[in-house]
Amino acid sequence: MARLRATARRCRPVLVATLIALATAQAASAHSVLIATEPANDSILETAPEHVLLRFDEGVESALGSIRVFNGDGERVDAETISKPRFNEVTVELDSDLPRGTYTVAWRVISADSDPINGAFVFHVEAPGSQPSGIAVQVLEDTPVVVSGLYTAGRFFDFALLLLCAGGVASLVLALGSAARELRSRLYGLLGVLATALAAVALIGLPLQGAAASGFSLVDAFSWDVVSAVADTRYGEASLIRASLAATLALVALALRSSEGRGELPLTALAVVLVAGMIVTPSASGHASVSGPLSFVADIAHIQAAAAWTGGLAFLVLGLVLAGDDRWPLATRCVPRFSNMAMVSVGVLIIAGTI
């Protein structure tokens, strides 16, 4: 009982720090925002425009995206191929000499945080047509519900597995270093399974991203053209790098599991390098990559701290559960070390989150 009280006292600073972090948490950034269009929404033009241009508050990806312009009869009047005059602008050429009437613009691009966004607006040539509100309801395609659900679940598991892998390595190195070799071997085996799952989820995310970005069905998304198009985007490049690093980490974890203490130090150092690279990938494909060096570094630090706290805690708890009769002696050695790591992590979370 005395040992339990001592361990609880050591955990108390971590609980206090966590409550502070939750109380001071700031709202996360939303998707890219459409700030201007040419022609402007619901504008009446004296002559037909040569193109339609969309301007966003930050850079967007146009791969698998589209700008489709329809007349009042639902017929397309655009050149179909979109271009990017600037990093935050997309445009499409229009047919020459558009007749009088109302035209509906339906657009779809990939936001700076790698999530697809879409919308619609209208403009008029000379005067509004018979349907002045346009035909957005008929032509604006939403992402299929199944695709949207799988895409969201894939992004969640991708990030959760990343936190578990990075936090697991941090916990094994900093908190569970004094655990019995047999216990560490079991935890390295789990790390290998998690890293393998992360590699698989990162790769499956490519066709899911293509389906969500273009409005395709799952069947259409699992094609080489779609996957290769996604692979050329920032999201695709980051996902491929994360999958490669995760697959390598799985091999290193399995080597550590069977090393029996021989050559463990260089393998552990390699595992640390691999998870450090993996942690950079979400920032490289998200808002932080277009928000300046300070935001980029702060975002990486934020993810690292979150991994050390959440993933590290998961491995610590599992290690104590698996320790059996050695649970309390192990707790007296490991909990203080994790407490120090968690306190630093929460501090980094607060500072990086504020930035």
Query: Per-residue pLDDT tens for 150-203?
Result: 888 999 999 999 999 999 999 999 988 888 888 999 999 999 999 999 999 999
**pLDDT band, residue 62 (cuts 50/70/90):** confident
At 130-155, the pLDDT tens digits run 887 777 767 666 667 788 888 889 99
- Looking at every residue in the chain, the average pLDDT score rounds to 85
**Predicted local confidence at residue 140, as pLDDT:** 67
In terms of phi and psi (left: phi > 0; alpha: psi -120 to 50; beta: otherwise), the region of 131 is: beta
State residue 20's pLDDT score. 47
Task: Name the 3-class secondary structure at 62.
Answer: strand
Q: Name all contacts of 250-255 with Cβ < 8 Å and 24+ positions apart.
A: 250/191, 250/192, 250/193, 250/195, 250/196, 250/199, 251/192, 253/188, 253/189, 253/191, 253/192, 253/195, 254/188, 254/189, 254/192
- Backbone torsions φ then ψ of 26, nearest 5 degrees: -105, 160
Question: Mean of the pLDDT values across residues 195-217?
Answer: 89
- In angstroms, rounded to a whole number, what is the distance separating the alpha carbons of residues 111 and 113? 5
Q: How confident is the model at residue 25 (pLDDT cuts 50, 70, 90)?
A: very low
Q: Pick from 288, 290, 306, 299: which is nearest to 342 by CA?
A: 306
- Return the bridge partners of 125, or none: 45, 101
Per-residue pLDDT tens for 68-106? Answer: 999 888 889 998 888 888 888 999 999 888 999 999 999
Q: Which backbone phi and psi does 193 adopt, to 5 degrees?
A: -65, -45
- pLDDT of amino acid 81: 84
| Model pLDDT, residue 66 | 83
Residue 227 pLDDT grade (very low, low, confident, very high; cuts 50, 70, 90): confident
Fill in the amino acid letter for 44. I
pLDDT of residue 234: 86
- Output b/e per residue, 78-113; b: 16+ Cβ within 10 A: beeebeeeeebbbbbbbeeebeebbbbbbbbbbbbb
pLDDT level of residue 26 (50, 70, 90 thresholds): very low
Give the model's pLDDT for residue 105. Answer: 92
Judged by average pLDDT, the poorest of 218-222, 259-263, 324-328 is 259-263
Per-residue model confidence (pLDDT) at position 37: 93
- With a cut of 80, say whether residue 346 has pLDDT above it: yes
Q: Is the pLDDT of residue 13 over 70?
A: no
Average pLDDT value for residue range 248-271: 87
